[in-house]
């Protein structure tokens, strides 16, 4: 029996068992199952409260409203709920699905990046079947390049003596069977962790798919992996996967396996009445992708993680140059308000440490908290009060690009020697806190001047 599919856009609403203007109808059974799923996740302390909102409205009754997630949910009874991006001035279902796929392609470190949407019949396929189609295409790509092979340790009781004899097992099992040998040996085969995970994903999707074309391709691919065992422990096998020159072509496929086997779709949801849920937070999708007004096109923008480092690095450069003002620090305040995962923040902190900026990060955190009242949960590290006070004093003294700095001889600042004197006079107090930046600045500028003009 074909699946019944219901779709809404973000901030659209389902009404229970009756159709009202401005609402999409969802049968009572499906509505109750979806409501249970939403409430279970909201009560579990994760992001369920941002998935959908449940309310009771006058003259309408119970309502479920999509919030900050898009994607697909399949209930145990086979009904499918699709939540798609909202497009201003358009309710075209096909365009909304194409937009979601294009937005998924912009995500960093995701399997969707290599998707060629022109090869997928978006109009006639439900979202989940589209995801399966993408996975199948990636598996075919890997198969064409060859399955990963390697040596696997095998212990068996066979009629041939090879490898190493396990004498304890030999005495225990073959005392009356002198023609057999308990041995352990290395066998070169395709039974590698990566292939086990692919085999398990193929079998899992074969049971979920309702597309005859997808099921046919999944069956063909399962035959290709016929000599490979299924994974018995997903976490253990994922931990054994390594990306080297012989298995680099598996990288995207392993991300797909995580999406299906472990629900790694940037959001983790589960429920007793739900078969699967692949959901994506809208802020993650819009992080890299922006549609221009009037259908002018699309542009890709820097990620929050990139801005979290680059904006402060740019402020750092001006701190020892002309000077900085509160306006620049306010820019960084709003960058940090965008938040991010703990893993992403830790990568940023490690980068600051490697580039010798961590003390300045602590100083900035102190100013952001003292002046702008930033909450602790947005800070990258503990505030550094002493360095922070020095930073704030410099901000109040110099202003943006040193506009109000009375220490600078602005009349002759365009000349080389006065500019060097201005630099020394202004920055001498930073030597104890930032010795490398101050002591190496003049030799480096001298080298760059000579290289630029005479080499």
Read off the tokens for 186.
């290395």
What pLDDT, on a 0 to 100 scale, did the predictor assign at position 382? 92
Question: pLDDT band at 221, cuts 50/70/90?
Answer: very high
For 231, the token pair is: 């994974």
What's residue 5's pLDDT?
85
**pLDDT of amino acid 341:** 77
Note the pLDDT of residue 106: 63
- How does residue 436 score in pLDDT terms, banded at 50, 70 and 90? confident
- The proportion of the chain whose per-residue pLDDT surpasses 70, expressed as a percent, equals 78
Report pLDDT digits (tens) over 195-212. Answer: 999 999 999 999 888 889
Answer whether residue 413 shows pLDDT above 50.
yes
pLDDT over threshold 80, residue 70: yes
User: What's the pLDDT tens digit per position in 370-393?
Assistant: 999 999 988 999 999 998 998 898
Q: What is the average pLDDT across 121-147?
A: 83
**Would you state the pLDDT for residue 324?**
85
pLDDT category of residue 408 using cuts at 50, 70 and 90: low
pLDDT band at 263 (very low <50, low <70, confident <90, very high): low
- Residue of higher predicted confidence among 76 and 266: 76
Most confident of 17-26, 42-51, 67-76: 17-26
208 against 412, higher pLDDT: 208
How does pLDDT run across 283-292, given as a tens digit for each residue?
A: 666 656 666 7
Averaged pLDDT for residues 234-252: 86
pLDDT, average across residues 312-333? 85
419 — pLDDT class (breaks 50, 70, 90): low
Higher pLDDT, 315 or 45: 315
For the CA atoms of 151, 157, 160, 165, what is the dihedral angle to 10 degrees? 70
Q: Model confidence at 266, in pLDDT bands (50, 70, 90)?
A: very low
Mean pLDDT, the chain, as a whole number?
81
- Whether 400 shows a pLDDT value over 80: the answer reads no
Residue 106, token pair as written in the block: 């912009």
Band of the pLDDT at 367, cuts 50, 70, 90? very high
Residue 196: its pLDDT value, please? 93
- Averaged over 45-72, what is the pLDDT? 79
- Highest mean pLDDT out of 166-170, 286-290, 305-309, 365-369: 365-369
**pLDDT higher for 25 or 410?**
25
Q: What is the pLDDT of residue 300?
A: 63
Confidence check: pLDDT of 110 > 80: no
Per-residue pLDDT averaged across 113-142, rounded? 74
pLDDT at 414: 56
Contacting residues for 297 by C-beta, under 8 A, at least 6 apart? 291
pLDDT at residue number 215? 93
Pairing of strands 13-16, 24-26: parallel
Residue 118 pLDDT: 46
Provide the pLDDT for residue 115: 53
What's the pLDDT band for 176 if we cut at 50, 70, 90?
confident
3-state DSSP of the chain:
CCCCEEEEECCCEEEECCCCCCCEEECHHHHHHHHHHHHHHHHCCCCHHHHEEEEEECCCEEEEEECCEEEEEEECCCCEEEEECCECCECCHHHHHHHHHHHHHCCCCCHHHHCCHHHCCCCCCCHHHHHHHHHHHHHHHHHHHCCCCEEEEEEEEECCCCCEECHHHHHHHCCCCCCCEEEEEEEEECCCHHHHHHHHHHHHHHHHCCCHHHHHHHHHHHHHCCCCCCCCCHHHHHHHCCCCCCCHHHHHHHHHHHHHHCCCCCCCCCCCCEEEEEEEEHHHHCCCEEECHHHCCEEECCCHHHHHHHHHHHHHHHHCCCCCCHHHHHHHHHHHHCCCCHHHHHHHHHHHHHCCCHHHHHHHHHHHHHHHCCCHHHCCCCCCHHHHHHHHHHHHHHCHHHCCCCCCCCCCCCCHHHHHHHHHHHHHHHCCCCHHHHHCHHHHHHHHHHHHHHC
């Amino acid at each position: 029996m074909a699946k019944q599919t219901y779709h809404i856009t973000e901030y659209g609403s389902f009404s229970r068992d009756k159709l009202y203007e401005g609402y999409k109808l969802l049968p009572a059974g499906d509505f109750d199952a979806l409501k249970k799923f939403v409430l279970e996740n909201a009560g579990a302390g994760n992001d369920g409260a941002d998935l959908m909102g449940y309310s009771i409205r006058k003259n309408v009754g119970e309502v479920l409203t999509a919030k900050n997630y898009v994607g697909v949910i399949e209930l145990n009874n086979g009904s499918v709920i699709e939540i798609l991006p909202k497009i201003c001035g358009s309710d075209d279902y096909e365009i909304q699905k194409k937009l979601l796929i294009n937005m998924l392609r912009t995500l960093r470190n995701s399997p969707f990046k290599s998707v060629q949407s022109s090869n997928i019949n978006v109009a006639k396929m439900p979202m989940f079947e589209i995801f399966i189609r993408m996975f199948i295409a990636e598996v075919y790509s890997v198969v064409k390049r060859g399955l990963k092979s390697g040596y696997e340790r095998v212990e068996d009781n066979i009629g041939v003596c090879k490898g190493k004899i396990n004498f304890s097992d030999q005495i225990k099992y073959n005392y009356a069977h002198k023609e057999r040998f308990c041995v352990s040996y290395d066998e070169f085969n395709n039974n590698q962790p990566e292939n086990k995970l692919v085999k398990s994903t193929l079998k899992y999707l074969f049971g979920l798919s309702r597309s005859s074309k997808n099921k046919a391709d999944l069956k063909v691919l399962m035959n290709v992996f016929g000599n490979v065992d299924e994974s018995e422990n997903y976490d253990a096998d994922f931990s054994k996967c390594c990306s080297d020159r012989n298995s680099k072509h598996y990288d995207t496929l392993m991300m797909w396996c995580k999406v299906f086997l472990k629900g790694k779709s940037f959001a983790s949801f589960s429920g007793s009445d739900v078969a699967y849920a692949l959901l994506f937070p809208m802020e993650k999708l819009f992080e890299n992708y922006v549609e221009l007004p009037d259908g002018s096109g699309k542009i890709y923008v820097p990620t929050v993680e990139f801005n979290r480092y680059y904006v402060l690095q740019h402020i750092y450069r001006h701190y020892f140059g002309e000077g900085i003002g509160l306006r620049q620090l306010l820019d960084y305040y709003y960058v940090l308000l965008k938040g991010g995962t703990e893993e992403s923040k830790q990568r940023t902190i490690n980068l600051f440490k490697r580039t010798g900026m961590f003390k300045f990060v602590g100083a900035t955190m102190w100013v952001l908290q003292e002046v702008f009242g930033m909450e602790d949960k947005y800070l990258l590290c503990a505030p550094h009060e002493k360095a922070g006070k020095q930073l704030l004093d410099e901000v109040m003294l110099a202003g943006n690009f040193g506009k109000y700095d009375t220490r600078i001889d602005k009349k002759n600042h365009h000349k080389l020697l006065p500019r060097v004197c201005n630099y020394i006079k202004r920055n001498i107090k930073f030597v104890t806190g930032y010795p490398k930046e101050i002591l190496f600045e003049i030799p480096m500028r001298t080298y760059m001047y000579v290289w630029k003009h005479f080499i």
